[in-house]
Amino acid sequence: MRSLCVSLLLLQLCGTSFCQFPRPCANSEGLRTKECCPVWQGDGSACGALSGRGFCAEVLVSEEPHGPQYPHSGIDDRERWPLAFYNRTCQCAGNYGGFNCGECRFGYWGSNCAEYRETMRRNILTVSAAEQQKFISYLNLAKNTINRDYVIATGTRAEMGENGENPMFSDINTYDLFVWMHYYVSRDAFLGGPGNVWRDIDFAHESAAFLPWHRVYLLHWENEIRKLTGDFNFSIPYWDWRDAQSCEVCTDALMGGRSSSNPNLISPASIFSSWKVICTQPEEYNSREAMCNTTGEGPLLRNPGNHDLNRVPRLPTTADVDFTVSIPEYETGDMDRFANRSFRNVIEGFASPVTGIAVPGQSTMHNALHVFMNGSMSSVQGSANDPIFLLHHTFIDSIFERWLRTHQPLRSNYPRANAPIGHNDGYYMVPFLPLYRNGDYFLSTKALGYEYAYLLDPGQRFVQEFLTPYLEQAQQIWQWLLGAGILGAAIASIIAVLVVVARRKWKHSQRRKRASSYGERQPLLQSSSEEGSSSYQTTL
């Protein structure tokens, strides 16, 4: 009983909550008053003010100029976020967080958010089979559970009425909440009338905020899973795709193999074959001047390797990653997809990981993986439908972390002005509530409560990536043997065998890395790929 109470207390206090739109604010009253300062149930006051957790305050948005890529003003709800919806929100004190300051900010735990704790993100291919299956079960649970804290907008602010008399919000499951967020932040701007849109706009891609925005996105997703499952040790695993020649995670034991009856579909032996996607039809939304909603739009599509080889001749190599990390400048030039020798532009995939120069007609690094998957993941707005998105972006985040640790940049290295709209240092990330500035996440994971196993020193890395899974198995065997009454000699022998196996696996992985070729890969099956602004295959 005591354990249950502790778990419930942690569930209330430890998850960091932020997103669009908090349920208490998604109504006519919230829209009319333009205030989102919900009550914290812990003391019955708005933003937990009586307990000193936070207070309701005016939103002060940055007035620094943005670049010329978006020449309009006052036509899109995401401009000067979040003022189209709310101009007063909770401002949390100290380590408190959440839309009502009732929770903790990243990395902090406990009733007073005073305990700093670091979790470990590990390689999906080296964790135990039990850990792999747990991750998959959590994904499926999220896909089938309505989120308790947030809803999505199904219309523009103008459609909801001047005084909020027509609120347009909808329930959504926890997984699709994040799919919708990725759609919303990258969708085209409606200029008025069916099909009249501005495509050169994206608040999370093609400029400086690409890495900080996705860092916050992953942290939020991680914490929503912890709240949903009660597993507060959960961390998103990553797929280390360096030097891969195929989709190593595309198996029925992991993210789903290829269907034998249709190469574009997931094998029916995988739970992901039953998933329905949302927000994958941008041209239809544009033609109707309508927002994506929660309507399912068909099965998850994926056909890895059967992509346009002229755009992506091979997957990124270790050499590509090392060169990218070596680039000293975070942003250069106009800070968009045409930037040369920009770390952000190279890792995002609009510039060469060999020269650092922008490459027309090519997709490299981050973009290359999206194009390679040749399905739902290959369109920006709908890419998060494929759960491989999480494994991929977690590894991209780890490369960002390598760059931060290598160069130790000052906050001033992040652009304060003249980046494309939404990407300046002081711009609040769309569509997060509470509010987070881009520049605040231009910092190491050490300040955010997580670490990557492969970034540890060799001894620590051996324990985390290879020994830990076997020790987990050893613990299970230990408990079984104790229950069976078998004594120490047998226990010690089994543990010793597990350690030896782990060491051999470690040495094999090191030999594989040393033997990796950095040249061109063998040609893969080719098919035509549609180009457009909603694709990671954007023509430069």
CATH of the domain at 220: 1.10.1280.10
More confident residue, 498 or 139: 139
Contact, 53 vs 102, CB < 8 A? Answer: yes
- For the chain, the straight-line distance linking the first and the last C-alpha, in angstroms and rounded, comes to 60
Look at the alpha carbons of 399, 400, 402, 406 in this order and tell me if their dihedral is positive or negative. positive
Looking at residues 47-72, what average pLDDT do you find? 97
In terms of residues, how long is the chain? 540
Distance CA 482, CA 474 (A): 12
Q: What is the pLDDT of residue 1?
A: 39
Looking at residues 94-115, what average pLDDT do you find? 95
Q: What is the pLDDT of residue 193?
A: 86
Looking at residues 147-163, what average pLDDT do you find? 95
Answer whether residue 323 is part of any domain. Answer: no
Contact, 70 vs 201, CB < 8 A? Answer: yes
Counting Cα atoms < 13 Å in the Cβ hemisphere of 305 gives 14
Judging by DSSP bridges, how do beta strands 115-116 and 108-109 pair with one another? antiparallel
Distance CA 145, CA 174 (A): 6
**Side chain identity at residue 321, one-letter code:** V
Quick one: which H or E segment has residue 13? Answer: helix 2-13
Nearest 5°: phi and psi at 295? -65, 130
Residue 379: strand, helix, or coil = strand
Contact, 427 vs 182, CB < 8 A? Answer: no
- Asked if the model's pLDDT at residue 514 lies above 60, the reply is no
Nearest 5°: phi and psi at 414? -85, 135
In the structure encoding, which two tokens stand for residue 516, read together? 């990796």
Answer whether residue 12 is part of any domain. Answer: no
Q: In this predicted model, what pLDDT tens digit does every residue of 300-319 receive, in sequence order?
A: 999 999 999 999 999 999 99
Answer whether residue 336 is part of any domain. Answer: no
Q: SS3 string of 173-187?
A: EHHHHHHHHHHHHHC
Q: In this predicted model, what pLDDT tens digit does every residue of 183-206 receive, in sequence order?
A: 999 999 999 988 899 999 999 999
Distance CA 378, CA 367 (A): 9
In the chain, the number of structural domains is 1
Closest by Cα among 175, 149, 161 to 25 = 149
pLDDT band at 20 (very low <50, low <70, confident <90, very high): confident
Residue 40: strand, helix, or coil = strand
212: exposed, middle or buried (Cβ count in 10 Å: 0-12, 13-18, 19+): buried
Answer whether residue 344 is part of any domain. Answer: no
**Side chain identity at residue 82, one-letter code:** P
Q: What is the pLDDT of residue 4?
A: 37
219: exposed, middle or buried (Cβ count in 10 Å: 0-12, 13-18, 19+): buried
Answer whether residue 144 is part of any domain. Answer: yes
**Count of other CB atoms within 10 angstroms of residue 119:** 17
Domain that holds residue 54: 23-306+374-472
Cross-strand bridge partners of residue 109 = 115
pLDDT band at 479 (very low <50, low <70, confident <90, very high): low
State CA 256 to chain mean position distance: 20
Lowest mean pLDDT among 6-15, 211-220, 503-512: 6-15
**Is the bond preceding 432 in cis, omega lying within 30 degrees of 0?**
no
In the structure encoding, which two tokens stand for residue 289, read together? 């001047």
Answer whether residue 269 is part of any domain. Answer: yes
Look at the alpha carbons of 457, 458, 459, 461 in this order and tell me if their dihedral is positive or negative. positive
- Asked if the model's pLDDT at residue 516 lies above 80, the reply is no
Distance CA 375, CA 384 (A): 11
Q: What is the pLDDT of residue 473?
A: 57
Contact, 152 vs 172, CB < 8 A? Answer: yes
Q: Provide the strand spans (E) within 31-151.
A: 35-36, 39-40, 45-46, 54-58, 88-92, 96-97, 103-104, 108-109, 115-116, 119-121
Cross-strand bridge partners of residue 56 = 90
Q: In this predicted model, what pLDDT tens digit does every residue of 395-432 receive, in sequence order?
A: 999 999 999 999 999 999 999 999 999 999 999 999 99
Lowest mean pLDDT among 112-126, 213-227, 244-258, 467-481: 467-481
Answer whether residue 464 is part of any domain. Answer: yes
Q: What is the pLDDT of residue 332?
A: 98
What's the predicted TM-score (pTM) here? 0.85
Closest by Cα among 254, 318, 269, 258 to 125 = 254
Q: SS3 string of 140-206?
A: HHHHCCECCCECEECCCCHHHCCCCCCCCEECCEHHHHHHHHHHHHHCCEECCCCCCEECCCCCCCC
Answer whether residue 194 is part of any domain. Answer: yes
Looking at residues 33-49, what average pLDDT do you find? 97
4: exposed, middle or buried (Cβ count in 10 Å: 0-12, 13-18, 19+): exposed
Look at the alpha carbons of 134, 118, 240, 214 in this order and tell me if their dihedral is positive or negative. positive
**Side chain identity at residue 415, one-letter code:** P
